[in-house]
Structure 1
Amino acid sequence: MKGYFTHEEYENEKFIGLDLLEEKIRDVSFFNCTFERCSFLYADLSLSSFDNCLFKHSNISLTKFQGTHFFDVQFKGCKLLGTDWGSLRGLFKAEFTDCILDSAVFPKRNLQYFSFIRSTFNGASFIDTNLAHAVFDDCDLGGALFDRAILTEADLSTAFNYSIDVSKNTITKAKFSLPEAIILLQNFNIQLI
């Protein structure tokens, strides 16, 4: 389906079941659009913008977002494997529910107040990421790397499988729950009895 998006702007559109494998969809603006059961696997969405859009049950893995802008976007039941969120022009106000964000990287991203619900982040990377007030509700953070991340007042009380070095990250007033929070003591060379 080469050249599916031929206009520069789309508004109030609903796209269902599109297979955009390796498509180049560059410099296109989407406002108030829904993408349902679409595949953007290896697609190039560089320099595009998505405002007030919804992605449902779509595969957005290994997609290029160089210079792309997201504002007030919802991802529900999506695969976002290996996505490099650091190449975006802007990621403002997004919500992820029932998503797979394994091996995704969020370098130097401002994700304050973002909401992640029932999502997995196995092997994801949060380096120099601002996650202040972010919520990880029932999220699997197995193997996720937190390095110089700001987790001030973040809520990880229902998150699990995380390993956060408190000497390398800011966790002031962050919420954790037992027994998972015991892992926060791993780098202090102490014995728990």
Structure 2
Amino acid sequence: MSEAYVSDQNYTQLNFVESHLQIGEYENCTFQNCNFEYADLSQFKFTDCEFVDCNLSMTKLIGTAFRDVIFKDCKMFGMHFDDCNEFGMSFRFEGCALNNSVFYKTTIKRTVFKNCKLIEVDFAECDLSNSIFSNCDFSGATFERTNLEKADLRTSFNYTINPDSNRLKKTKFSLSEIHGLLRRFDIEIDKNS
């Protein structure tokens, strides 16, 4: 079966669980209000695409290419970005719920996460240098041997980051959330003083 090449298409309110999206390369396409839950997007290529109000939870991403892709207000639980094609991988997340997703060992420098739920996300050994995390919830997220150099976490919260096992040179934090860097020491910080 030959792979499709599709450009400049808008897909609205489609359920790709029932009717599968043809494998191929999608360029400058918009997916709005679509359901991809548990879909197999392996070997697909998305370039300059936008996903808006979509459910992409538990999609299979083996060899999937995301290049300059924007995700807005999407439900993206349990996605394995570590299975993606890393060549040119770049995306932006706005208002997304990425709970339990995995970015293990990915290189995603300069990524913007804005108003996202990153609950129990695995960022171990990930290169997030120069990334911006604006108003993100990191409850239970894993940072281990993660490169956060020059990343901006000033408006984010609920993170636990061990400065000894992560790269934090010139990383920006807010004073109100600094306890997230000290949690491993089991010390008490008076937030009222």
Name the SS for the 1:125 alignment partner.
Answer: coil
Name the SS for the 1:126 alignment partner.
Answer: coil
| Percent of aligned pairs sharing the same letter | 35
Instruction: Pick closer, same or farther for the CA change 1:36–1:152 going to 2, 3 Å.
Output: same
Q: Any idea what the Cα deviations from partners look like across 1:42-78, whole Å, max 9, x if unmatched?
A: 0001111000000000000000010110101000000
Q: Does 1:144 align with 2:169?
A: no
Q: CA deviation at 1:108?
A: 0.8
Q: CA deviation at 1:92?
A: 2.1
Q: Does 1:32 align with 2:28?
A: yes
Q: CA deviation at 1:190?
A: 4.8
CA distance in structure 1 between the aligned counterparts of 2:82 and 2:22, rounded to whole angstroms: 18
Which stretch shifts more, 170-179 or 48-57? Answer: 170-179
CA distance in structure 2 between the aligned counterparts of 1:182 and 1:85, rounded to whole angstroms: 29
Aligned to 2:106: 109
Q: CA deviation at 1:167?
A: 1.3
Q: CA deviation at 1:25?
A: 4.3
Q: CA deviation at 1:144?
A: 0.5
Contact 1:24 1:45 in 2 (8 A): no
Residue number among 114, 121, 124 corresponding to 2:118 in the alignment: 121
**One-letter amino acid of the structure 1 residue matched with residue 93 of structure 2:** F
Residue number among 13, 18, 23 corresponding to 2:9 in the alignment: 13
Aligned length: 188
**One-letter amino acid of the structure 2 residue matched with residue 135 of structure 1:** I
Q: CA deviation at 1:23?
A: 5.9
Instruction: Pick closer, same or farther for the CA change 1:153–1:12 going to 2, 3 Å.
Output: same
Which stretch shifts more, 22-31 or 137-146? Answer: 22-31
Instruction: Pick closer, same or farther for the CA change 1:179–1:19 going to 2, 3 Å.
Output: same
Aligned to 2:85: 89
Instruction: Pick closer, same or farther for the CA change 1:86–1:23 going to 2, 3 Å.
Output: farther
CA distance in structure 2 between the aligned counterparts of 1:26 and 1:171, rounded to whole angstroms: 42
Q: CA RMSD in A?
A: 1.7
Instruction: Pick closer, same or farther for the CA change 1:88–1:26 going to 2, 3 Å.
Output: farther
CA distance in structure 2 between the aligned counterparts of 1:7 and 1:110, rounded to whole angstroms: 27
**One-letter amino acid of the structure 1 residue matched with residue 172 of structure 2:** K
Aligned to 2:48: 52
**One-letter amino acid of the structure 1 residue matched with residue 166 of structure 2:** N
Give TM-score scaled by structure 1 length.
Answer: 0.92
Contact 1:23 1:43 in 2 (8 A): no
Contact 1:22 1:44 in 2 (8 A): no
- Kindly report structure 1 stretches of 4+ aligned residues shifted beyond 6 Å: none
Unaligned runs of 5+ in 1: 1-5
Which stretch shifts more, 15-24 or 70-79? Answer: 15-24
**One-letter amino acid of the structure 1 residue matched with residue 47 of structure 2:** D
CA distance in structure 2 between the aligned counterparts of 1:192 and 1:156, rounded to whole angstroms: 20
**One-letter amino acid of the structure 1 residue matched with residue 171 of structure 2:** A
Name the SS for the 2:123 alignment partner.
Answer: strand
Give TM-score scaled by structure 2 length.
Answer: 0.92
